[in-house]
Amino acid sequence: MYASNLAHNFLWSRLEVFVIHSRISENGLPSADCHTAMPPVSVLVNTYNHERFIAQALSSVAEQAFPSTEIETIVVDDGSTDATPEIVKRFLPDVQYIRKSNGGQVSALHEGVAHCSGDIIAFLDGDDWWTKDKISTVMNFFNKYPSIAAVGHGFYEADEQGSVRRAVVLDSEYHLSFETAAAARFAASVRTFGGTSKLAMRRQTLDRALPIPTELPFFDNFLFFQAIATAGAILLPQALCYYRLHGGNLYASDVRNEDRLRRKYNLELGLVKHLPGRLASIGVSTEIISAVLESDRIDSDRLRLSLDGGKPWDTFRVENAHFRSFYRDPNLGYRIFKYFVLLLTLSMPPKIFYRLRHWYSERNLRRIRERIVRAPVANPEVVRHTGTKS
């Protein structure tokens, strides 16, 4: 039933776009927007209890250096209980506001897509915001590469008050594909640049990727990987959005708690469960699918052991798999270090080992180890971080 309704709404939205762009001017000639150089863009904003942030998000869309007549903004409110509805209504009639009962980000996406009429869909979380050249830059690349399925880009990390901490960018432009296992692993390693507020997709690709399993807490990875499999994706090096870290983040935050870890675990477990079938239906081989989800399988095992515990042998198995997958031809010094870590996994319960691992990571003790011995990773570092935390 959902697929049928989605198809019906899609056909009507295409008809509406045809009618709008086929208007005739008073002198009997086609109006100027009949032959627009760029396809219309739908900005799909999902929000839930973002009263402190939603105005900045919507203002960043309204202030885009892109023709406002070529942008429609759809806001899906997933049952906010704060002042979010009143704030969004200030932006009417320039935005289309849809309020629904709380059902999670995936259900908000399904609701919003049915109301989008653009050929390109750009996603935005209600607690993030964009640079003024976001849409124009992304659309230039969709026009430059008419067959590409999706575009992502770098971003700025900001704190709760909106102060920028650092830029997280790539060292160059990357064209992602699943042509080889190595290409698939690389694409999976840079998925953060195809996250929600950084992701824009062609409507026809999005429609093929739906529906998203409702058990997934988030939709971006599930869509992004299917887009790459369908026709490839481009990652732009520049930062075009501001990604806000705050205590209410459903996924990323400075605050580490069990609910957030459990949500991440459910996401990775859901990808491992549901994505293989979707990728196979597109024609992706078993070998490539395994490469795409390699890190998710390992990370979901790590999270399961850190949250629910298990046997020390389970920790050894998972950490050994990570070592073999992500480090190529390690030198003797790093082998000795890693064998010491593997011995530690056998000497303590998994929960204690992963608390110790988190402590090691949180204090950035890796930099001390790297002064002694460096590990050659399977995917060379292509991400640059500029600026420092305030």
Domains defined for the chain, CATH in brackets: 2-244 (3.90.550.10), 258-378 (no CATH)
Q: Are 153 and 130 in contact (CB under 8 A)?
A: no
Across the chain, mean pLDDT equals: 86
Percent of the chain whose predicted confidence (pLDDT) is above 90: 71
Tell me: pLDDT of 34 over 50. no
Q: HSE (CB half, 13 Å, CA atoms) of 83?
A: 6
63-111 residue pLDDT tens: 999 999 999 999 999 999 999 999 999 999 999 999 999 999 999 999 9
Kindly state the average pLDDT of the residues 358-368: 77
Tell me: pLDDT of 388 over 80. no
**Strand (E) positions, 110-229?**
120-125, 129-130, 150-158, 164-170, 174-176, 200-202
Tokens read off for 134: 């976001």
Per the model's pLDDT, the better-predicted residue between 258 and 207 turns out to be: 207
pTM assigned to the model: 0.83
Band of the pLDDT at 368, cuts 50, 70, 90?
A: low
Band of the pLDDT at 385, cuts 50, 70, 90?
A: confident
Tell me: pLDDT of 8 over 50. no
Band of the pLDDT at 372, cuts 50, 70, 90?
A: low
| pLDDT given at position 377 | 58
Q: Residue 225's Cα: distance from chain center in Å?
A: 10
Band of the pLDDT at 35, cuts 50, 70, 90?
A: very low
Kindly state the average pLDDT of the residues 202-229: 96
| pLDDT given at position 70 | 95
| pLDDT given at position 18 | 34
Distance, in Å, from the CA atom of 125 to the CA atom of 198, rounded to the nearest integer, reads: 10
| pLDDT given at position 23 | 32
What distances in angstroms separate CA 23 from CA 31, 163, 281, one per listed residue? 6, 45, 40
Count of residues making up the chain:
390
Tell me: pLDDT of 353 over 50. yes
**Alpha-helical regions (H) of 201-293:** 203-209, 220-231, 258-282, 286-292
Tell me: pLDDT of 17 over 50. no
Q: Which of 49, 99, 41, 103 is nearest to 75 (CA)?
A: 99
Tell me: pLDDT of 151 over 60. yes
CA dihedral for 240, 241, 242, 243, sign (positive or negative): negative
Q: What is the DSSP annotation of 293-325?
A: THHHHHHHHHHHHHHH---HHHHHHHHHHHHHH
Band of the pLDDT at 374, cuts 50, 70, 90?
A: low
Q: HSE (CB half, 13 Å, CA atoms) of 360?
A: 11
Q: Are 152 and 235 in contact (CB under 8 A)?
A: yes
Tell me: pLDDT of 16 over 90. no
| pLDDT given at position 265 | 92
| pLDDT given at position 380 | 57
CA dihedral for 75, 273, 195, 362, sign (positive or negative): positive
Kindly state the average pLDDT of the residues 112-117: 96
245-297 residue pLDDT tens: 987 655 454 455 788 889 889 989 999 999 999 999 999 999 999 999 999 99
CA dihedral for 251, 102, 75, 210, sign (positive or negative): positive
